[in-house]
Amino acid sequence: MLPRSSVVTLRAFLSRPNKIVQPTKQQVSRLSYHAKGNGGNGSILTYSSALAGIAAVATFSEWNSKYPNSSNISIAQCEPRIATSDFGMIGPTSEPETGILFPRLCNALTFVGCGVRVKWRFVKVYAVGTYVDPIAMNFVKNQSNAEIEKALLDPQYPRTIRIVMARNLSIDKYTSAIVEALKPRMKGEDLDKLDEFKKLNPPVDLVEGAVMEMTIRGDTLLYRNSAGSVGAIHSDIFCRAMCDVYYGDDAVSPTHKENVIKGIKSI
């Protein structure tokens, strides 16, 4: 857990949604921490990593202010990310069915669990992991599984859904499967967003190891496709449907949902 000074600093940044964050080195240094134990040689969050993380937190406001029509943008640059090499003893987590690794942090959010998407009972299509804001989830982590699931279904709780392909797959099959899962959950509203989602994916088939990320916050979904380009979809209906796909009663990966709930309890 981050020290209180770090939590206060991070909350200060998160409470400024309409400004692009330009933290000072002194402010960022407050986010640096040493994990307890291991003879005092715990994990160290470096200045460069913390700066990258805060820049990622500002991504949402930057997109909304700079690119009001960002859903039509096909290519954009990602914000700097936190490299796993910046961490001393914080290692990635392996999804047991596929062996795919998930880094501890992604887009300034914390890993809480992963699972595998299976088709036809035995075909492992992709591994999926979830990253959340531990400060936001701190309010529900000690509650029942039902309350945690309720929070996961609420797009107001920021999260990144990271998908890593476990096999080669045509881009048409990938997008069609997601659209097929989303459409009935949208109940006839904002269906044009489904076409927007398809257009955010380049016409290139996916190979094993390809990575896609969906970062949801409120009515905005930032999507990073397999080529590294970023686009956005603005729709509360779409974001809620996407949350239901991965955390609802009929989640596409039950093991993922189960492990995410367990992970949130242990934050």
Beta-ladder partners of 220: 217, 234
Q: How far apart are CA 74 and CA 229, in angstroms?
A: 7
pLDDT per residue as tens digits for the range 164-175: 999 999 999 999
In this prediction, residue 120 carries a pLDDT of 86
Confidence of residue 248 (pLDDT cuts 50, 70, 90): very high
**232 membership: H or E segment, kind and range:** strand 230-234
pLDDT per residue as tens digits for the range 199-227: 999 999 999 999 999 999 999 999 999 99
The per-residue pLDDT of the chain, averaged, comes to: 77
Q: How far apart are CA 29 and CA 50, in angstroms?
A: 8
The residue-averaged pLDDT of 140-160 equals 97
DSSP 3-state of 249 = coil
pLDDT per residue as tens digits for the range 79-132: 333 333 333 346 899 999 999 999 999 999 999 999 999 998 899 999 999 999
Q: Is the pLDDT of residue 251 over 50?
A: yes
pTM of the model: 0.70
68-102: b or e for each residue (b if 16 or more CB lie within 10 Å)?
Answer: eebbeeeebeebebbebebbeebeebebeebebeb
